[in-house]
Every structure is written in structure tokens, then in C-alpha cells.
Amino acid sequence: MEESEIKKLINMARNERLLAYSPYSGFSVGAALLCKNGEVICGCNIENASYGATNCAERTAVFKAISEGIKDFLAIAVVGGKSGEEPEDYAYPCGMCRQVLSEFCGSDFNVIVAKNTDDYKVYRLSELLPEAFKL
Ligand code: THU
């Protein structure tokens, strides 16, 4: 992926992070999902008083896209950290989000984890979830 495209996705994830609903953990995550048609669909984490009903940022983005009829994806950028602060670390997708991504994304799909536009890492989904479960 081109660096300018990566930075654009990170910026969109950073902005989306501001929309997170995370009063219980105080941890806000934004994700920006690049679709093959060029669209970028963003998602944030949405928590719930019944903690298990929480939805992660990555799954919010994927579910938004699928429900709009978009299901071909190239990459996702994820930015997360303590709400109201700049991220201190990379926020890696949790196991459940990796599994959901593997349902819709090829093994060459790029996962970008970023602290900011100048500090990021790029992985293949197959690196983060080798031997994914599929039916
Ligand atoms: N979270 C995400 O949004 N994505 C992940 O991949 C890991 C965790 C959210 C869920 C919860 O709202 C908060 O981060 C703390 O776990």
C-alpha cells in the first residue's frame, strides 16, 4: 500500500475514535476499513452496561459495510488508547475481530495498527490469524 493511503486511513481512524462510546473501559478505538470500491467505512467501539454486549471498532466497521452491500475489502487501520489521550501503544484487533475479518477478507488483507500517522505497523491478516477457522 502507498504511504499516503495508509496515512489517510490512520487519520480517518483517529477521527472516528472521537465517536467511541466507551464509558466503562475509558478506552476508545477507531477503525477505518478500505473497500475495493475505494470507499472507506469507519467504526468505533460501542460499549454497553451489560459488558458482553460491547461491539469493537473493527466489527462495527465490517458490519456497517456488509449491511450496506459492500463486502470486498483491502485494509483496515485501527487506532486505540485511553479516551481523550493520544494512544501510547498499538491497539491490535482482538481475537473475535480477527475471526470476523477472516470471514470477509483474504489472507493478503492489510491490518494497520497505529499510534499516529508517523508511527504504525502493517500486517497481513494471515500473520495475525494463521489457520483461521472456516467452514
Ligand atoms: N476494543 C476494540 O474496539 N477493538 C479491539 O480489537 C479490542 C478492544 C474495545 C472494546 C472495548 O470497548 C474496549 O476496547 C476495551 O476492551
Q: What's the grid cell of residue 84?
A: 481523550
CATH number for the domain that contains residue 72: 3.40.140.10
Residue 134 lies in a domain: no
| Atom of ligand 1 at shortest range from CA of 20 | 12
Determine the Cα–Cα distance for residues 117 and 101; give it in Å rounded to an integer. Answer: 23
Residue 49 lies in a domain: yes
| Atom of ligand 1 at shortest range from CA of 97 | 6
* pLDDT score, position 129: 97
For the chain, first and last CA: distance in Å? 30
* pLDDT score, position 36: 97
Q: Which residue has the cell 500486517?
A: 123
The answer, yes or no, to whether any atom of ligand 1 lies below 6 A from the CB of 25, is yes
Residue 96 lies in a domain: yes
* pLDDT score, position 52: 97
Q: pLDDT by residue for the chain (135 residues), tens digit each?
A: 999 999 999 999 999 999 999 999 999 999 999 999 999 999 999 999 999 999 999 999 999 999 999 999 999 999 999 999 999 999 999 999 999 999 999 988 999 999 999 999 999 999 999 999 999
Catalytic residue positions, numbered: 58
pTM of the entire predicted model: 0.97
Domain count, the chain: 1
Find the Cα–Cα–Cα–Cα dihedral 62, 63, 67, 73, rounded to 10°.
10
- Expressed as residue numbers, the domain containing 25 is 3-128
The answer, yes or no, to whether any atom of ligand 1 lies below 6 A from the CB of 110, is no
Alpha carbon of 131 to ligand 1 centroid (Å): 23
Q: What's the grid cell of residue 115?
A: 499510534
